[in-house]
Structure 1
């Protein structure tokens, strides 16, 4: 198998058994409040720190091209996102206390596991993002539904969540997957890692839906 086949299989599984998105369910009924949005932003901000640490660890494990350059660029994207999301958080107001909500913290555990145990192909396939993926697909649809129901949100929120993935997270990620497979990575293990990523990322929407 190659990256193209793996991404198609990932998309097929996602289409056949879509991860739940309770926040979109609320949005489809016009029931999303600013408290939900504050919670969404607060949860994602915790992800950014864990991701940056994980990418640093992955860089020590995969210091060769194209993986090394990819990881440096992804870390840069996350760092820029961290800055942008801080502005969104400020516009939304007082952040909620996430407490011990497992869903709010689970993705941080996943990226830590990926950093220590994921293969190169598994890492890159997990980071591969398409417009219909769990994160970007959910984010763009949320913005659309908020607009449809006339929910007023800061323009910074719309700008942050209303855009799809950069080519880095599609084309470059696929090249890193193929390089990992050429180095002997198990395609089945890579697919399992990416499917786990989908399930853990879906918990972002679960955690945000709670108030």
Structure 2
């Protein structure tokens, strides 16, 4: 199967989204957060896990930009790396509001299950195709954004954190301007060059499963 047009790439995106929608997963951590049942130490764990994830993802996107430097891939992956750099600065505001500084973030012991998401993205940065990464990110974007919007609202209303403190979650609640169009163009270009659409669909499913694992790990032992 070869994809040669943006319309065909968009159809592949819809297939990936439908596949993910058919595998619904409850987010118990956010349910608990909204009911104010997440203790402060677990909020610190959220900051600690994200600190490692954002740092890893930034390097992964930079590596992808180096592997696929030509447009549209290079431009998209470089912008994602730059976005992670901004997110890291916003995450420090969240950590600070919890009383966490650089020492706490760097010495935090991550949960293996929570770190499966960045590990898989890093594997794709080394071995994956450009279309697989683009499809995985695009197909899962709406769910991730909705989770971040819920987290920002719950932290503001239930934990009295400031707008600045929840800026990290607000940043990810909305997709980057033009990301959908850029990612779809990249999928079309990659698959038109011979990249396997089955690998792209598999990457989307896997990334969804690893994101679910992240939230599940944060809820472990609560409630």
**The two structures share one fold, judged by TM-score above 0.5:** yes
Q: Which residue of 1 aligns with 2:66?
A: 60
Q: Which moved more, 1:116-125 or 1:196-205?
A: 196-205
Aligned-residue offset at 1:114: 0.6
Aligned-residue offset at 1:66: 0.8
Structure 1 unmatched runs, 5+: none
The answer to whether 1:84 aligns with 2:90 is: yes
* Secondary structure of residue in 2 paired with 1:99: coil
Aligned-residue offset at 1:121: 0.5
1:27-56 per-residue CA deviation (whole Å, 9 max, x = no partner) reads 354312333322212111101221122123
RMSD, aligned α-carbons? 2.3
State the alpha-carbon separation in 2 of the partners of residues 4 and 161 from structure 1: 27
Structure 2 unmatched runs, 5+: none
Aligned with 2:45 (options 25, 39, 49): 39
Q: Which residue of 2 aligns with 1:176?
A: 186
* Secondary structure of residue in 1 paired with 2:159: coil
Q: Which residue of 2 aligns with 1:10?
A: 16
TM-score normalised by the chain length of structure 1:
0.86
Aligned with 1:136 (options 114, 135, 145): 145
Q: 1:169 to 1:34 in 2, by over 3 A?
A: farther
Aligned-residue offset at 1:130: 6.3
Is residue 30–residue 150 contact of structure 2 (8 Å, CA) maintained in 1? yes
Aligned-residue offset at 1:98: 4.7
Q: 1:129 to 1:89 in 2, by over 3 A?
A: farther
Q: Which moved more, 1:74-83 or 1:151-160?
A: 151-160
Aligned with 2:166 (options 158, 168, 176): 158
Q: Which moved more, 1:24-33 or 1:6-15?
A: 24-33
